[in-house]
Structure 1
C-alpha cells in the first residue's frame, strides 16, 4: 500500500511539473504621463521628460508597445498612458529573465524622470556631523559641491557629489539625497556609507534609509 502511494505521488509530481512561460513582473504595464517620451535606439531605449533623459538597455528580443489613453471631456487622460514589455519567446529562460528585468529598469526610469527618488542617510555616533561644502577641485562629473563629514577620524572626510544627485543636510546628523537615476542614487549612498559602516557593538555608523542593525554583546574576559 505504501509502495503504491509513493508511486502515485511520483506520477502526480511528474504531471504537475511544467515550464513557466510568463513573467509576473514583465506582464505588468507601466503607466506614464504624457510628458514622458520613449525613443528606441540600437540596443537601448531612450526615455525623456522635462526633468532629463535616461538610457535603458534593450535586448534585441524585447518588444515594447505604448497605448495612449483616450481623452475625456475635460481633456484628462483616464486611464493613464501605458507601456507594455514583451519578449519573442517566453519559453526561453534567458529571455524570460530579461523580460522582468527590462520592465523593472524602464519603470524605475519613468518614476525617476517624473517623481524622482530620495534616500536619507542618518549619522549615528558621538561627534558624527555632516555639512555641505564647496568643492575646490570640481570635475565635469561632479556638481562643484561635496559632503564634509566628521566621523571620529583625525581628519574630515570629503565626498564630491556627482552630477544628477542633489544633496541637502537638514540637520548635522541627517543627509538627504535626491535624483532621477535609482542606481546612481543607491551607489552614491553606498559610497558615503562605506566611510563608517554600522558596527554591531555600539550601533554607530552611517545608516541608509530604514536600515537597522542587531547589536551584539561585548565580549567579556
Structure 2
C-alpha cells in the first residue's frame, strides 16, 4: 500500500505504455548528393573517391555501411547505433566522405591575412629545393621580427600571394589544408592588444584594453 504522501508522486511517474528511444545521428543520417563527375570504389576497409582533381581514400570501420538508394544519392549507416562507438563514428565517417567528395571536385581554399605595420609576404623559389619535403617554392614573410620567416610549401598545397598582406592556400584535403594554415599562423599568432598577427579566413579576436596604473 502506497502512503498518501507518495501517492501523487507515484501517479505522476506511472505510464501505461513503455517508451523506446532510438539513437539517430543528425549528421550521419543526412544523405549525400553525388556529383556526376565522381565515382566510388568501396572495399571492406575503405571507400576510394575518384574525381576531376584526383583520387583519395576514406578509411571505413567494419560496422559502417555504405548504401546507394538512388544513382546520385549515398547513405551512410552503422550496424547498431545504440553502441556508443558506432554512433560517434557514424557522423564522423559521413563528414569525411563528404569532404573527400568536395576535395576531389572543387577543392578547399582559405585566405590568410597579415595584419601589422610592415607585415608582408611573397612567394619565391626555395634555394634548398625539395630537401625539406617542399615543392621547391616557399613563403618569405616579414612579421615584425629581426629576421625573415621562411615556410616551405608542401607538394599537396597550392599557394598564391595576390597582395603583400594576403596569402591564399588551397588543397584537395581539408585536414591537410588546416594543418598548413595553422603552421603559417603559428609564426605570428594574433595578439589581443594591438590586433596584429596572421588571421585565417574570417578569424576575429577581441581587443583587450591596457589597464593604466
TM over 0.5, shorter chain: yes
User: Could you tell me the TM-score, scaled by structure 2's length?
Assistant: 0.88
- Report the CA distance shift for 1:12/1:214 in structure 2 as closer, same or farther (over 3 A): farther
For 1:218 and 1:16, locate their aligned partners in 2 and report how far apart those are by CA, in whole Å.
Answer: 61
- Contact preservation (8 Å) 1:19, 1:91: no
Any idea what the Cα deviations from partners look like across 1:121-173, whole Å, max 9, x if unmatched? 01100010010011122338422111111001111111111122111011000
Unaligned ranges ≥5, structure 1: 70-80
Please, what TM-score do these two structures have when normalized by structure 1? Answer: 0.85
2:178 corresponds, among 186, 195, 212, to 186
Query: CA offsets per residue over residues 1-36 of structure 1, 9 Å max, x none?
Result: 997666666x289x9986442111111111122221
Match of 2:33 in 1: 31
User: Which structure 2 residues correspond to residues 197-216 of structure 1 after superposition, within 5 A?
Assistant: 197-216=189-208
Task: Decide which of 122, 125, 150 is 2:113's aligned counterpart.
Answer: 122
Q: Does 1:148 align with 2:150?
A: no
SS at match of 1:86: strand
Larger gyration radius, structure 1 or structure 2: 2
CA distance in structure 2 between the partners assigned to 1:145 and 1:12 by the alignment:
71
Deviates further, 42-51 or 203-212? 42-51
Q: Of 89, 92, 115, which residue of structure 2 is paired with 1:98?
A: 89
Moved more, 138-147 or 96-105: 138-147
Aligned to 1:52: 54
Residue deviations 1:47-76, cap 9 Å, x none?
Answer: 11121111211101101122554xxxxxxx
Q: Which moved more, 1:15-24 or 1:60-69?
A: 15-24
Residue ranges of structure 2 left out of the alignment (5+ in a row) = none
Matched residues, number:
208
